[in-house]
Amino acid sequence: MTVPQFQARRATLDDLPVLRPLWEAERLDAAALEKRLTEFQVVCTEVGQVVAAIGMQRHRQHGLLHSAVFADFGLADTLRPLLWERLRTVGRNHALARMWTRESLQFWRGLGFQPPDEEQLANFPAEFGVPDAEGLFTLKVREDPFADMTPEQEDALLKQHLRADTEKMLKQAKTLRMFAYIAAGVFIIVLAVCARYLWRYQRRQNRPAMRGPRL
């Protein structure tokens, strides 16, 4: 989704001079957030000026939206949909199943974020802090394939997929190596044939011309 004059992208180190005062204006811990810059997505103008940002902390299939800031709150309603579209893209890329936020704004409620029930709250990652049902909102963005698994089972499944991917890559490498050997062999044969024809041609060129009979 693109709004004229604005575009969303991943935050970079070049954005820090703009993000620091925005975080400080919202009384956020700018020093701590700098270390988590890779979590942030930004919206910038067509000339590259950052006008909004939001972070998303990830853990397994969960994402926590946090630290939203705006250079001009008069544009917040225009920029939030851009940030959300960008967050959805990042979520799909990382196969997130559920998103969380402590933002109680109507915008997030309008997207479907609702207070979690007891089962959902029980799955709130400890890495995101202390769960508080009164201040949390959540949205399922896709089915969670690990929903009924223990962390040990998740790790085992992930390792299994990693082994499968590694074996697939090794097979592909072996196939490519075989084709490389075949191509090299064919090239050597063609080169040898060409060299033989060249050698025979040069011999004919260097052979002295036969003299005719004397009269």
DSSP states of 46-109 as a string? TT--EEEEEEEEEETTEEEEEEEEES-GGGHHHHHHHHHHHHHHHHHHTT--EEEE----HHHH
User: Coil, strand or helix: which one is 41?
Assistant: strand
Domain boundaries, the chain: 6-145, 149-210
Cα separation, 85 vs 56, in Å, equals: 13
Model pLDDT, residue 41: 97
Mean pLDDT by 10 residues, the chain (215 residues): 78 96 96 96 94 96 96 94 96 95 93 93 92 86 65 61 67 80 86 82 69 53
Cα separation, 114 vs 65, in Å, equals: 14
Adjacency order of strands within the sheet including 40-45: 6-10, 40-45, 50-59, 62-70, 98-101, 137-140
Instruction: Estimate to the nearest angstrom the gap between the alpha carbon of 5 and the chain centroid.
Output: 25
Helix H or strand E segment including 24: helix 16-25
Model pLDDT, residue 86: 96
Side-chain-side CA neighbours of residue 82 (13 Å) = 24
Model pLDDT, residue 51: 96
Cα separation, 124 vs 63, in Å, equals: 10
Question: How is domain 6-145 classified at the architecture level of CATH?
Answer: 3-Layer(aba) Sandwich (3.40)
Model pLDDT, residue 55: 97
